[in-house]
Amino acid sequence: MSDLLRELRNEAERRGLWEGGELSAAGVFKLVRDMPYARASGREPSTTIHEWKGTCSGKHYLLKALFAELGMPSKLIACTQDIRVPPEKLPPELRPLVEAGPIVDVHNYLIVETPQGETVVDATWPLSTEKLGTVVNHEFVPGRDMQVACEPLETWTVPEGQDPQAFKENLLRERYSAEELERRDVFIRAISQAMAAQKY
């Protein structure tokens, strides 16, 4: 077993989330998907594992590395988006943020090379958040595209060998104003805290 896969299994065992057996691509996907949606202290794959949380960037940087250890290379995709969450499904304290207009962001997901063909994979939202109206993907099936957790506006393939976080931050600075980015940060912090408080 490769290093990150071993780290993932060990941390899942420590948290009582390991169901035994060998780590498959489908099992890896579910473990990463169901990590709470919240920013970790860094976006390195090991940090995401040990803090057991991540947003779209951290989760997909980790998933890309895990799939590579399973023999399935992938492309990391970045896309601009307007976050549109139905206000009525949010906690009351978050509604003014989304009622004021779309929240901008750069979203990450993967296109994984499988024996059945390229497969879109998006592990952003935990299964438990489905009641909030998030786009939740239930299982990884090679050759069957998942639904991307947003409506992409502009899309890029992150070049191999380039720091994916630097690539994302450059896009954010190029595409959005400081005011838009501040609303984005407030929203991400608020939605993460609300999910943690309600144990989503």
Task: Write out pLDDT tens, residues 107-134.
Answer: 999 999 999 999 999 999 999 888 877 8
**Over residues 146-165, mean pLDDT:** 95
Residue 168 has pLDDT above 90, yes or no: yes
- As a whole number of angstroms, the distance between CA 93 and CA 29 comes to 31
- Residues of the chain above pLDDT 90, percent: 72
User: Per-residue DSSP letters for 124-155?
Assistant: -S-GGGGGGT--------TT-PPPPSS--SSE
pLDDT of 22 reads 84
Facing residues of 155 across strands?
79
- Give the pLDDT score at 155: 97
Closest-CA residue to 58 (of 48, 68, 49, 66): 48
> What pLDDT score was predicted for residue 90?
74
Mean pLDDT of the chain: 91
- The DSSP string of 19-50 is --S---HHHHHHHHHTS-BS--S--SHHHHHH
The SS3 of residue 120 is strand
Taking residues 166-178, report their average pLDDT.
96
Q: How many CB atoms lie within 10 A of CB 178?
A: 7
**Residues 23-76: pLDDT tens digits?**
899 999 999 999 999 999 999 999 999 999 999 999 999 999 999 999 999 999
CB-CB contact of 129 with 200 (8 Å)? yes
- Model confidence at 1, in pLDDT bands (50, 70, 90)? low
Q: What integer pLDDT is reported at residue 73 of this predicted model?
A: 97
Residues 146-152, mean pLDDT to the nearest whole number: 94
